[in-house]
Amino acid sequence: MRYEIFGEPLTVVTCHLDAGEAMITERGSMSWMTPNMLMETTSNGGIGKALGRMFAGEALFQNRYTAQAGPGSITFAASFPGSIRAIQIAPGKEIVTQKAAFLAAETGVELSVHLQKKFSSGLFGGEGFIMQRLSGSGIAFLEIDGSAVEYDLAPGESLIVDSGYLAAMDATVKLEVITVKGAKNMLFGGEGLFNTKLTGPGHVILQSMPVTAVAGSLAPYLMTGK
């Protein structure tokens, strides 16, 4: 499989497949494709894995697109202005993503639910108690809200992240919720009560324009019906 990513900030990725090669997606992200791409809707692993993906914020079923009788191509589009990142998934190189980050992947990539080990991290961490875990083998495409900013954290090195700005991280990165210090900061700082602390080792991808932050900025200007 070969791919091209283009069109920022309204990004798309075009995947060029040899005969028999296939891609999976879960949100109807297909934008255009050659006529020889066969679409199949599947639970991809049975009802148990399908339910796990549903709890992780994705659809119950996946769409599989396979090139038939020769090479084919398929294009997937992001649902929000931003960027697309291609991530190589391999045994021992698993990643954890926010619920809306997955766009498409080769069929060797498996999606499953990822539960925060600490209840407080899931309850107050901004991305929720349930995230997605990508494992297996193959290339996965992630949808990033706004621009992607990437860090490589050394063992024990930490980064404090405001809620919602975490797009993805290596499964080796530890996530915990910390309280904003100082009552005045909590009440009047405008940053909320909690932040997310990420501790290495591992790679971290942040996003500059979370859709939730954009929605919050636009809310005062929208008609309320009053």
* pLDDT classification of 48: cutoffs 50, 70, 90: low
Per residue in 157-207, pLDDT (tens digit) is 999 998 789 999 999 999 988 876 654 444 444 455 678 899 999 999 999
Contacts (Cβ under 8 Å, ≥6 apart) of 20? 66, 67
pLDDT score recorded for residue 68: 97
Q: Which of 221, 205, 81 is nearest to 150 (CA)?
A: 205
The predicted-structure confidence for 95-116, as pLDDT tens digits, reads as follows 999 888 999 999 999 988 866 5
- Report the greatest alpha carbon distance in the chain: 66
Going across the sheet that includes 166-170, the strands are 109-115, 130-136, 95-97, 166-170, 202-207, 148-153
